[in-house]
A and B are shown apart, each in its own frame.
Chain A
């Protein structure tokens, strides 16, 4: 008994300050949601300023939006939705007491999809934008067809890079969190009784997905795609 206690002092992950595992679980979840509330307002600040400048410079924002490729934005949306499903299935594997290789499989798949999102973004969007000289601060060039709307187009691209950049930063943090979870799973830390770290990391991952669900239409699909830019 004491031997087991030495090696596994806390086999279920139960922390003594809580009444029971249920209360511990709820406390962890509630704390994560309070953190996510601050994240909602953090991203909300960007969405608010985006809304104001969009109202002020709508023609420029439409031109800017048409500089982005819908196919990459849509593909990345699908990739993130897939990663949310695999994350949910990783938690479900722990809940239903599956062995750790099953949890690790879904976590690694989630990490792969997250990395795929970042890879597509870097290779086919940001790098392409750099070559096209539409990255503010890195050789941004006005185009003659933009006319007087050109400063607003640069403003839109600023919003685009700060919003998608901040989102990508959250993805990188999420990948780090998932890597830690893979390590914890490999050490057999999760059971059907104790999986709080998986669940609250899942909340974070899904939150980042939700941010992208709004970024995709707001950045890629402004003013409808039926219009031709440049007027």
Chain B
């Protein structure tokens, strides 16, 4: 199961310089996202904010959470979780943002619908 498990458990120790580098990058990202909010980029403000947030997230996941040094099984779980999150957000938005495209449905009226359904069935 483990990729490197013949001998005793030898943890992959991340050097302090890597941790500090990631820490500084996260602080720079925070400063950047705050500064960009005061610049008028129109709708791109949100895009830039999310790109910075996702970059910060990847830094935390890969280095602070050691996923860079983990076996593939852990990564599959993580990718799966975000895939499901993507399904939830995309399908919900696909519903919500396209409601104006259709004619407004008629209110519920059994007198109209039941003959139609029975026509389909029989």
CA distance A52 to B89 in the complex (A): 9
- Identify the closest chain B residue to A74 (Cβ): B34
B38 at the interface (CB under 8 A from A): yes
A88 at the interface (CB under 8 A from B): yes
CA distance A95 to B49 in the complex (A): 35
Q: Is the CB of A44 within 8 A of B85?
A: yes
Given contacts A88-B19, A213-B60, A225-B38, contact A23 B2 (CB under 8 A): yes
Q: Is the CB of A214 within 8 A of B57?
A: yes
Chain B contact residue count (CB 8 A cutoff): 54
B119 at the interface (CB under 8 A from A): no
Chain A residues near B97 (CB-CB < 8 A): 55
CA distance A47 to B96 in the complex (A): 14
Task: Give the distance to chain A from B10, nearest Cβ to Cβ, in Å.
Answer: 8
A192 at the interface (CB under 8 A from B): yes
0/1 interface trace, chain A 187-224, chain B, CB 8 Å (1 if under): 00000110100010011001101100110111011111
B104 at the interface (CB under 8 A from A): no
Q: Which of A36, A52, A192 contacts B92 (CB 8 A)?
A: A52
Q: Is the CB of A48 within 8 A of B70?
A: no
Task: Give the distance to chain B from A49, nearest Cβ to Cβ, in Å.
Answer: 8
A51 at the interface (CB under 8 A from B): yes
CA distance A22 to B66 in the complex (A): 15
Chain B residues near A228 (CB-CB < 8 A): none
Chain A residues near B112 (CB-CB < 8 A): none
Which of A51, A70, A84 has the most B CB atoms < 10 Å from its CB? A84
0/1 interface trace, chain B 3-15, chain A, CB 8 Å (1 if under): 0110011010110
A33 at the interface (CB under 8 A from B): yes
Q: Quick check: which of A24-32, A155-163, A171-179 contacts chain B, the rest being far away?
A: A24-32
CA distance A41 to B40 in the complex (A): 32
Q: Is the CB of B41 within 8 A of A21?
A: no
A20 at the interface (CB under 8 A from B): yes
Task: Give the distance to chain A from B98, nearest Cβ to Cβ, in Å.
Answer: 12
Q: Is the CB of A85 within 8 A of B19?
A: yes
Chain B residues near A20 (CB-CB < 8 A): 5, 8-9
CA distance A36 to B8 in the complex (A): 28
Q: Is the CB of B88 within 8 A of A30?
A: no
CA distance A95 to B14 in the complex (A): 10
Could you show 17 A-B contacts with beta carbons less than 8 Å apart? A36-B81, A40-B84, A44-B84, A52-B93, A81-B27, A81-B30, A82-B23, A84-B60, A88-B19, A195-B11, A214-B57, A216-B53, A217-B33, A221-B33, A224-B37, A224-B45, A226-B37
B-binding residues in A (CB < 8 A): 19-23, 25-26, 29-30, 33-34, 36-37, 40-41, 44-45, 47-48, 51-52, 55-56, 70, 74, 77-78, 81-82, 84-85, 87-89, 92, 95-96, 192-193, 195, 199, 202-203, 206-207, 209-210, 213-214, 216-218, 220-227
Question: A74-B30, A85-B19, A92-B16 given. 4 additional CB < 8 A pairs?
Answer: A84-B26, A88-B14, A199-B66, A226-B39
A-binding residues in B (CB < 8 A): 1-2, 4-5, 8-9, 11, 13-14, 16, 19-20, 23, 26-27, 30, 33-34, 37-41, 45-46, 49-50, 52-53, 56-57, 60-61, 63-66, 70-71, 73-74, 77-78, 80-82, 84-85, 88-89, 92-93, 96-97
